[in-house]
Structures are given as C-alpha cells and as structure tokens.
Amino acid sequence: MVLGFRSQVRFSRAVVVHISMGTSNNCSNNIESSATSCVSNCRSQFSQTVSEIVEEENPDGRILETPNLKVFTFVELRPQPRTSLRCWAKAVSGKCTKSEVNFIGRLSHPNLVKLLGYCWEEKELLLVYEFMQKGSLENHLFRRNPAVEPISWETRLKIAIGAARGLAFLHFSDVIYRDFKAPNILLDGFNDHSIEPSNIFPSCNDFGSCLHLHTYNAKISDFGLAKLGPSGGDSHVTTRVMGTYGYAAPEYIATGHLYVKSDVYGFGVLLLEMMTGLRALDTKRPDGQQNLVDWLKPTLSHKRKYKTLMDGRIEGQYSSKAALLTAELTLKCLEHDPKNRPSMKEAVEALERIESLNKERSTDPSKSGSIHSSTPPRHGQQSSKRRSAGPIRGKS
C-alpha cells in the first residue's frame, strides 16, 4: 500500500481534504487524467451493483447516476482574510481516495457529509467537503471540561438517530461503511453570533428549541474504507482487515469476513459510548476495563444493573424505560453472531420509539420520573486524558 499525507483544512464554509498521492496501481499515473480516472474508473462496478438493488422507497436519500462534483482551482480554495485555518494529518492510499470519490460522490442523503468537488493541481489532490461547524461527536462526547456542559440525553438521541439513518441508507445502497466510530460522525451547527436570532428563525417563539432543531445534525464522514456489499447470494465479502480497534466486529477481526451487520456492531459500540460517556478503547483505564464492550457488555443484560452504566453527567434527563430500551438495543447490536443483530432500519425505528418516550416525559409532568442513581464509581476512576481507539492495519 502506498501511503500519502492527508490533512483537513477549513476554507470558509467548506472542508478540504488534502492528499499527496503516491504511485498506485489503483489510479492512473498520468497526473492530468488521474482525478477524472479516480472518479470514472470506479463508477462501473458501483453502477452495476446499484442496478441490481430492488427498487425501494427511500424518501430521504438517493443514488445519483454520476457524481455531481465541481472542479475547483486552488486559488478558489485559498482562505479568505481572517478565516481560521485548521489542519490534521492522516495517512491514506490512492485506493481509499477513489472509494471516497465514488461512494460519497454518488450517494446523497441528509446524514452523509456532502462531497462538493475536488481540486487537482500538479501532484496534489484535494477533496472538498461541506464544513461541519461543530466538528466530530468524539470532541463533544468525551470532553471533561467542567466549564463546558456535556451534551444532553436528548441531543445524544438525536445524533444517534441521524447516524443510524445515514448508515441505514448506506446499507440500502449496498455499501458497507467498515469504520463506524465517533470521530467519523460530524455535527453541524449555527456559529454566526453576529446575526440576530429573529432573522434566523423568524416564526419561532422559542429560539433555544429552534436552534437545537437545526444543530447537532449528525452526518457520516470519511468513506476511505467503504466497501461494496456481498452479491450473488453471498452473505459476506472477504477483505483485508482494516478499521478501528474497539469498534470492529469480532467476526471481521477473526476471519476477514465482512457482513453488512458488521457495521451494526460498530453502531452498538457507539450507543454504549453515548450511554456511558466513555471511549470504546482507553488504555488509561485499569486492566479489564480498557475495552468498553468487554468490560460493560455483561452488565447490559442485567435489568437491575444497567442503570449504573449511564453517564452520571446526564442524570435525571431520561426515564428508566428509555434507558432500558437503549440498553436492550445496544445489547442486540453487540450480538456475537451477526445474524442475530438488527438491521440498521430496525435500529432507527427502535431509537425513534425511545426518542418519543423522551419527548413524552419532557412534556408530561406525570411521566417525569427519572433515574436518581449516584454516579457510577467506574466513572471516577477514569483519567481526564483518554486515548482514542487505534487503527487496525495490515491483518489478512
């Protein structure tokens, strides 16, 4: 695999992913035609697969015939005066770049980050995405700054539902995401405090509620590891194991067999993180507690113990019933056998029912009973510095 350098740069309302490409058999070596080739050469296999999908109603998303991408010049992408510049680096291959262009360029859904276009100058390829003002879910869920209010249970449910809808649409489109995790869930938001609230939501009487409705919308990003799902009656595809420790499904790590429901396992890990406020993998935790699923999955099945899993920072924001249903859904998603896991469509429906319970509780005083458990001792054992789950590389 040929690795390059990848960085994310904020240019006004867009995010630019910058890649210094190395020589790869997966992309043309002709610099002038490489960008076009990376878009067009991948198109045929995906088109054939999409044509085999049974026609279904999907009101929120659609599969485009061709990627509707704009070709930018570097001059157009230069930051304007007083515009902040943010960068991060990530090693990728030319093949991963083709996957992103092919998949995200043709899939249109409110819960998938939109690829706006690309810029190819000399040996530099830049993928231009819409800018997500609030950054990643990881930054909001795991921060331990006492001066910053943690994201509420209501917001966590909203994010989980949005991410689940995006993942369900990918599966509908016969795409396996393969690297579902909190850092890859991006959140939009309204950050321009210079504009009067009445000008943003002129017909809204409760600005706070309207602002919440239009912020923290979750979108799945980073499609570098996405794969086409099995075809011809096969239950899985066999591929080199890539992904992130702590999120990757056990059958995938053990055998390299990638199922559609391997993504569902990763979603279950995310649900457990959102319940607890703890990372999937944290080497700063004591032995036996570093892998969140191995540590806490047995507790999910105990109706008298699952309450102790809930993040103490959001105590009183949910009903016992909502917490129980969330624990049950999480446990189903984390089933060892992929056949026993729910589909993402079923997960969306379950989360929407939980959200309805939460809304009923917030509007009906008679249903305002909440969990009043003390903060679990395990939360107090955590260091304020946590390490993210590490990448899986090179296992066949």
Residue-level pLDDT at 229: 86
Sequence spans of domains, the chain:
5-130, 137-395
Q: What is the mean pLDDT of residues 351-357?
A: 94
Q: Does domain 137-395 have CATH number 1.10.510.10?
A: yes
Of the candidates 174, 179, 222, 263, the residue annotated as catalytic is 179
| Catalytic status, residue 179 | yes
| 324 burial level (CB within 10 Å; 0-12, 13-18, 19+) | middle
Question: Which of 36-45, 267-276, 353-362 comes out lowest in average pLDDT?
Answer: 36-45
Integer Cα distance of 165 and 228 in angstroms: 18
Residue-level pLDDT at 89: 25
- Give residue 128's pLDDT band: very low, low, confident or very high (50, 70, 90): confident
- Give residue 235's pLDDT band: very low, low, confident or very high (50, 70, 90): confident
More confident of the two residues 150 and 233: 150
Residue-level pLDDT at 295: 96
For the chain, the three-class secondary structure string (H helix, E strand, C coil) is CCCCEEEEEEECCEEEEEEECCCCCCCCCCHHHHHHHHHHCCHHHHHHHHHCCCCCCCCCCEECCCCCCEECCHHHHCCCCCCCCCCCECCCCHHHHHHHHHHHHHEECCCECCEEEEEEECCEEEEEEECCCCCEHHHHHCCCCCCCCCCCHHHHHHHHHHHHHHHHHHHHCCEECCCCCHHHEEECCCCCCCCCHHHHCCCCCCHHHHHHHCCCCEEECCCCCCEECCCCCCCCEECCEEEECCCCCHHHHHHCEECCCHHHHHHHHHHHHHHHCCCCECCCCCCCCCEHHHHHHHHHCCCCCHHHHCCHHHCCCCCHHHHHHHHHHHHHHCCCCHHHCCCHHHHHHHHHHHHHHHHHHHHCHHHCCCCCCCCCHHHHCCCCCCCCCCEEEEEC
What percent of the chain is predicted at pLDDT more than 90? 39
Query: Which of 119-149 are b and which e, b meaning 16 or more Cβ less than 10 Å from the residue's Cβ?
Result: bbeeeebbbbbebbebebbbebbbeeeeeee
**pLDDT above 60: residue 80:** no
- Mean pLDDT of all residues in the chain? 75
Residue-level pLDDT at 82: 47
Residue-level pLDDT at 72: 79
**pLDDT above 60: residue 371:** no
Question: Which of 105-109, 228-232, 240-244 comes out lowest in average pLDDT?
Answer: 228-232
Residue-level pLDDT at 274: 97
Q: What is the mean pLDDT of residues 86-107?
A: 55
Question: Which of 5-14, 250-259, 295-304 comes out lowest in average pLDDT?
Answer: 5-14
Give pLDDT tens digits for 8-27: 444 445 565 544 444 333 33
Instruction: Pick from 112-121, 189-198, 223-232, 321-330 the range whose average pLDDT is largest.
Output: 321-330
Integer Cα distance of 199 and 352 in angstroms: 31
- Give residue 44's pLDDT band: very low, low, confident or very high (50, 70, 90): very low
The Cβ of residue 18 has, within 10 Å, a number of other Cβ atoms equal to: 18
Q: Indicate the pTM of the whole model.
A: 0.77
Give pLDDT tens digits for 152-181: 999 999 999 999 999 999 999 999 999 999
**pLDDT above 60: residue 342:** yes
Q: What is the mean pLDDT of residues 81-88?
A: 38
Residue-level pLDDT at 334: 98
More confident of the two residues 30 and 218: 218
